């Protein structure tokens, strides 16, 4: 198995709970063995996955002919994602079957012929003041988005409520609004926020409380707005979140879950528990982003997903086979990820 590192600059610095990101570093993997002839990507993001060094070491220890050496999805999910994706891409290319069809059949047992040509995506709106938030929302609507996710939590509660109200008044009732607090709220503030957002017909509040507070997230449910958990899945497994009855929606990142099949199976487990899955990325390069689109397409009747993240990168590994238009992401139809679309990346 070959492993090749890469580094991509972000279009602009991105503030996260673990500091500012200015670039994304990762690895492409592949090989000539029959079970791993495709291509995979590992783009670790500490806090969500193992470190860059641990990812490199896990990939270096992997031998394509020895399954026991494969990376562990629990301890080294980014490395596991790369190896699983390469194998699935190779399988799909050999069988002339899109990755989404393989994932759907493996996980849901649904006819692969029902894979959609597009999956719905949301636009993400930053935490600017009311005027800039409304302007960004209106621009997204003009570009065809019907689902908007607004960042909240960096300003006062009153300011955030005013921002969300201004957007609702500007875009009307037909547009789906979500808000994402990134764990910034305390319980009393979250309760007030959710009650106010319910009056504005907000679809869900994503990660209102700190990641490890599953019990209080459970108590926030049934107040008129769904509770979505994202960062909590970095500190607890999907099964732990479901067992705690802590969420109405789970945000699934294939890179952080150890691979596209792992993510699709997590989506099925969520559906079985009456919880809606939404797919997003960890600001990945084009190979992993394309895989995330296939994961979303494999989930029957998936809700709008956070897949429009390629614009966060200043450059990429190669041309993107996924087209974003009218609030949807196209699903590549070639075998595996995109047929020969990533041929230039193979070593």
Closest CA to 137 of 148, 129, 127: 148
Using CA of residue 251, residue 257, residue 259, residue 261, what is the dihedral sign? negative
Pairing of strands 118-120, 147-151: unpaired
342: Cα within 13 Å, side-chain hemisphere:
33
DSSP letter for each residue of 276-293: EEEEB-SS--HHHHHHHH
Taking CA atoms, 199 is separated from 208, 212, 214, in Å, by: 17, 28, 25
Sequence-ordered list of residues with C-beta below 8 angstroms from that of 288, at least 6 positions apart, any chain: 41, 43, 81, 85, 254, 255, 281, 282
Tell me the three state secondary structure of residue 132: helix
Query: Can you list the positions of beta strands (E) in 56-166?
Result: 118-120, 123-125, 147-151
Kindly list the catalytic residues.
151, 253
Closest CA to 175 of 196, 202, 198: 202
Query: Can you list the positions of beta strands (E) in the chain?
Result: 2-16, 19-30, 39-42, 118-120, 123-125, 147-151, 176-180, 202-206, 226-229, 249-252, 276-279, 324-325, 328-330
């Amino acid at each position: 198995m070959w492993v090749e590192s890469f580094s991509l600059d972000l279009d602009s610095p991105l503030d996260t709970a673990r500091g500012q990101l200015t670039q994304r570093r990762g690895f492409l993997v592949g090989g000539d063995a029959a079970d791993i002839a495709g291509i995979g990507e590992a783009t670790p993001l500490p806090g969500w996955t193992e470190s860059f060094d641990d990812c490199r070491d896990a990939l270096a220890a992997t031998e394509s002919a020895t399954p026991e050496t494969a990376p562990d999805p629990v301890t080294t999910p980014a490395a596991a994602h790369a190896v699983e994706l390469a194998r699935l891409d190779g399988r799909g290319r050999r069988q002339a079957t899109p990755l989404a069809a393989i994932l759907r059949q493996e996980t849901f047992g649904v006819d692969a012929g029902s894979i959609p040509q597009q999956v719905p995506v949301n636009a993400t709106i930053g935490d600017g003041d009311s005027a800039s938030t409304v302007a960004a929302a209106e621009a997204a609507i003009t570009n065809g988005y019907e689902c908007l996710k607004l960042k909240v939590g960096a300003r006062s509660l009153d300011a955030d409520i005013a921002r969300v109200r201004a957007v609702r008044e500007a875009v009307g009732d037909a547009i789906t609004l979500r808000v994402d607090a990134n764990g910034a709220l305390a319980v009393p503030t979250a309760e007030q926020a959710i009650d106010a957002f319910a009056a504005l017909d907000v679809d869900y509040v994503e990660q209102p409380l700190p990641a490890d507070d599953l019990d209080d997230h459970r108590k926030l449910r049934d107040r008129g707005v769904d509770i979505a958990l994202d960062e909590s899945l970095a500190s607890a497994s999907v099964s732990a979140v479901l067992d705690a009855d802590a969420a109405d929606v789970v945000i699934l990142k294939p890179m952080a879950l150890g691979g596209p099949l792992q993510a699709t199976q997590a989506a099925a487990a969520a559906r079985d528990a009456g919880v809606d899955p939404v797919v997003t990325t960890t600001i990945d390069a084009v190979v992993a982003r394309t895989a995330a689109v296939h994961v979303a397409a494999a989930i029957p009747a998936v809700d709008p997903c956070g897949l429009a993240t390629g614009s966060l990168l200043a450059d990429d590994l190669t041309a993107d086979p996924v087209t974003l238009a009218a609030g949807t992401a196209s699903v590549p139809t070639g075998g595996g990820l995109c047929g020969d679309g990533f041929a230039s990346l193979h070593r």
